[in-house]
Structure 1
């Protein structure tokens, strides 16, 4: 039996593409510190998120459940107050769960009020923070427009910048994510024309080093090792705005950019939903001359800064001996199109958006045989929650968690009946695309099922599906929905999607073991239906029914 993991460091980057690491094959972006972690662990080459948008994807990571189950289908959609999270499961086994960084969690304020739970109580705070105890939370999007701030909460990062002498009410926007022109004018990072300019901030004060420092401060808190912990270190970058301080600004140029993955054929008779996404401002912008040449070098530089901070963090772990008893996971909440497939942002189902980097380092001797290996099994984000529980020796509540532990792959064992497909969902009900297509909110939903070769996307609202064969078309240029030769594949994948939709996902208050205990319980408690004279059952089952003298209280007449 494996010895238990003491601590877990769960690192997540925001909008980091799976193929923008040198260990995953990027030709010009070198990420030696992340690569070194991969050399000490297992890199999963086919890991997929449950939704290609921050909030929904993260809620699946944190609950171990599909979006279809937890219901937080878009950013700013609350996570139901009754959903169990990593923190709930880990605390039941004696491990604390802390947050350093971003969750994009929206609290179920109405649910808390209905149950009479004060948001500032311990339970209320955990229910409002995805089950984590917050060391520091900063979702990193402090945009401000005519109607005010995107996020109404106080930004710890903004307060830090103010303490360092950066002026204004929103130095996140004015300094960390902006440059300055030669004549001293603000050059906002929201404008991609300035992406190659250095952010107007000292590098050590920018978002990624700040969060690394916060994590190290967490690790150095007196008494930290009195109890086992999970620390969710959740970085804000390389998410837009795409701008980075010196010395990273200018580190990469157009010659370092990998070829764009798009084809003119994708614009001919496109699927209506895909076409609507190609017409968005962020998508058409990437077709504009110079935009990719500006943005992608900045995106690469942000990743380079992230990798350097991994070097700093891993060095601290080694110096303090924590690399010996800490499970380390490094991943992302989704990818970034960067102009591929004529799209920007994420929010659709090509590999650039839904496939993520996933590296797991297990320090135990049982994992020695798999160090530095690549696993190509189909893996989902929801698999991390059961992996963490198995790592600390806890029972995995399979009636709640819908993922499967990755521990067999880490320890060189063949798992039993591994999954045949992965699922990804997207709700685009609040978007201009839904309005353009004339869709009701309930119809603006899509589901991807991918079996490792064939990828089908089902759209509610009466649309045809999309279908790609990644074996013959790895770039996903050719939608084969109308190809008669593919009709059987569509039918097969629809049957699989239906099987997934019929899964038992809402019976979460009682486990399979408890159901087993209930089997036959009613008979042994005297509920005996269908008997004629009692001879149908063993005598012990009818002991309370046997004839015996009793007083007669029937009303007598005459």
Structure 2
């Protein structure tokens, strides 16, 4: 039986909103069951804390500063190899069902003569995935994003005549008088979506994933099942909308001291509209109830999906990766959304189920090894017995951890953020070129380099909630210098020479290629030249 991979990604799912990660009231038995079958990586971090660049790192196995897609809708440049590019030569059908947040490099494609509707053009436009069904989940009544015509048609078949059922049905509710209440507004988060559960986005895209698997037959495949939720709009169908009253919510993690003299960038993000909205306890309570309901709905769909794999006889041949593209502050640290580097934003759930017997020793364990989103691509490639191309892919395969061969694969993790697009930059008066943040976390110390400002520093051993920024404290100057040196060392990596590996360069030995071609430079005499050729094992032919 062929090997397969089911690469499942949620959008904006926090690492700690699963019962296997310790949430006391949000029970996720089906996701927990995955953790029991595989390894739950407890210290996994994204390469950027916003959808687009994070996903581009997931799909390329490369850091943000390497692939260059630094924010949402910044195109991934033509030529960046993605998961599908690595797998297709191995005969693996690599497809998408759901969200990518990919912005195609239209200008680059035009320059190279790649038609978007050609086979190659379609793959380049979709992060290298065959777009079985793309749905980025943002379809307001405007030209923003791509409408999913399949979902629109499905909803119309179900009797919804709305022009945009994604907006007015799946992501809106209604009051007792029949007035439509948009889920875009946070204070509507506690009402049920108009769509019944089976017609909402999460069950729909799960069924579409099942369609793909049925159609794939016995050929090996890698399916990226990418859920739109629990990303906003925070609204969920019955019965999930009122499952989680306030007493089930985790307490907010923030302190007044954080607002007294914050790092300038941190302070600027506290002033963002969404951050201020989450300081209102009524609003925050409504949102968290819906957020938990959306996660519970995903967990229920995981149960349906796993039963389907069992029925298809695919469970024992399918690697499962379950993760998220970033977290959600939900009011922690006086912030909404994501974007900065506290754990609620940068730390993600990551569960990997390797069905091979080699993974039996670690099954059901929790790994505290530092791992990154970029490690997913080399792990999948390794599972399909593909070559590890370290000059292209910057992540590292997790199979040595999954097979119990190693306890750690890296000493620190990196996350990068370009905040040039945000109002926070303008509020600070920072130039576009300088609106950069880079996090380095070594398992204890979280160091954030901020162009033009002092660094931020958190000691997660002494301060696991990250409430005390030590970056401006002179007592920790030496620690900052140590971490800055590590960051400088990382920044000097070779990341753009993707056309030739170190091994290929090493294999060339003494480089006399020019001399062999008759371009004789640096030799004083013909005798010296012939001696050098003979020593290299390739005497020039007469």
- Distance, in Å, in 2 between the alignment partners of 1:153 and 1:170 is 9
- Which residue matches 1:257? 249
- Distance, in Å, in 2 between the alignment partners of 1:398 and 1:66 is 13
Counterpart selection for 2:169 from 168, 172, 175: 175
Q: CA deviation at 1:149?
A: 2.9
- Which residue matches 2:153? 159
- Distance, in Å, in 2 between the alignment partners of 1:153 and 1:518 is 51
Higher radius of gyration, 1 or 2: 1
- Which residue matches 1:479? 469
- Distance, in Å, in 2 between the alignment partners of 1:372 and 1:544 is 60
CA contact (8 A) 1:216 1:313 kept: yes
- Distance, in Å, in 2 between the alignment partners of 1:439 and 1:158 is 42
Consecutive unaligned residues in structure 1, runs of 5 or more: 549-558
Q: 1:378 is paired with a residue of what secondary structure?
A: strand
Matches within 5 A, 1:307-346: 307-346=299-338
Q: CA deviation at 1:154?
A: 4.6
Counterpart selection for 1:367 from 359, 381, 394: 359
Q: Determine whether 1:214 maps to 2:208.
A: yes
Q: Determine whether 1:493 maps to 2:483.
A: yes
Distance 1:252 1:388, change over 3 A: same
Counterpart selection for 1:57 from 47, 54, 58: 54
CA contact (8 A) 1:458 1:464 kept: yes
- Which residue matches 1:186? 180
Counterpart selection for 2:79 from 73, 79, 82: 82
Q: Deviations over 1:51-82 (max 9, x none)?
A: 00001000000000000000000001000011
Q: CA deviation at 1:519?
A: 2.9
Counterpart selection for 2:222 from 220, 224, 230: 230
CA contact (8 A) 1:5 1:392 kept: no
- Which residue matches 1:446? 437
Worse overlay, 287-296 or 123-132 = 287-296
Distance 1:192 1:510, change over 3 A: same
Q: Determine whether 1:295 maps to 2:287.
A: yes
- Distance, in Å, in 2 between the alignment partners of 1:74 and 1:488 is 32
Q: CA deviation at 1:121?
A: 0.3
Q: CA deviation at 1:545?
A: 7.8
- Distance, in Å, in 2 between the alignment partners of 1:396 and 1:243 is 42
Q: CA deviation at 1:420?
A: 1.2
CA contact (8 A) 2:2 2:218 kept: no
Q: CA deviation at 1:196?
A: 1.1
- Which residue matches 2:456? 466
Q: Deviations over 1:251-289 (max 9, x none)?
A: 110010011110111001111111111011111111113
Worse overlay, 163-172 or 16-25 = 163-172
Q: 2:131 is paired with a residue of what secondary structure?
A: strand
Q: 2:161 is paired with a residue of what secondary structure?
A: coil
- Which residue matches 1:506? 496
Q: 1:150 is paired with a residue of what secondary structure?
A: coil
Q: 1:43 is paired with a residue of what secondary structure?
A: strand
Q: 1:491 is paired with a residue of what secondary structure?
A: helix
Q: Determine whether 1:36 maps to 2:30.
A: no
CA contact (8 A) 2:2 2:219 kept: no
Distance 1:359 1:545, change over 3 A: closer
- Distance, in Å, in 2 between the alignment partners of 1:538 and 1:191 is 76
TM-score normalised by length of structure 1: 0.93
Q: CA deviation at 1:336?
A: 0.3
- Distance, in Å, in 1 between the alignment partners of 2:524 and 2:144 is 71
Q: How many residues align?
A: 537
- Distance, in Å, in 2 between the alignment partners of 1:229 and 1:544 is 49
Worse overlay, 108-117 or 240-249 = 240-249
Q: CA deviation at 1:380?
A: 0.4
Q: CA deviation at 1:158?
A: 2.5
Q: CA deviation at 1:191?
A: 1.6
Q: 1:293 is paired with a residue of what secondary structure?
A: helix
Counterpart selection for 1:386 from 345, 365, 378: 378
Q: CA deviation at 1:539?
A: 7.2
Q: Determine whether 1:103 maps to 2:100.
A: yes
- Distance, in Å, in 2 between the alignment partners of 1:35 and 1:15 is 18
CA contact (8 A) 2:454 2:472 kept: no
TM-score normalised by length of structure 2: 0.96
- Which residue matches 2:235? 243
CA contact (8 A) 2:134 2:148 kept: no
CA contact (8 A) 2:455 2:472 kept: no
- Distance, in Å, in 2 between the alignment partners of 1:538 and 1:290 is 80
Q: Determine whether 1:425 maps to 2:416.
A: yes
- Distance, in Å, in 2 between the alignment partners of 1:37 and 1:544 is 61
- Which residue matches 1:520? 510
Consecutive unaligned residues in structure 2, runs of 5 or more: none
Q: 1:220 is paired with a residue of what secondary structure?
A: helix
Q: Deviations over 1:126-145 (max 9, x none)?
A: 0000000011000001123x
- Which residue matches 1:12? 9
Distance 1:162 1:545, change over 3 A: closer
- Distance, in Å, in 2 between the alignment partners of 1:539 and 1:512 is 24
- Distance, in Å, in 2 between the alignment partners of 1:319 and 1:299 is 31
- Which residue matches 1:73? 70
Distance 1:57 1:302, change over 3 A: same
Worse overlay, 437-446 or 376-385 = 437-446
Worse overlay, 282-291 or 514-523 = 514-523
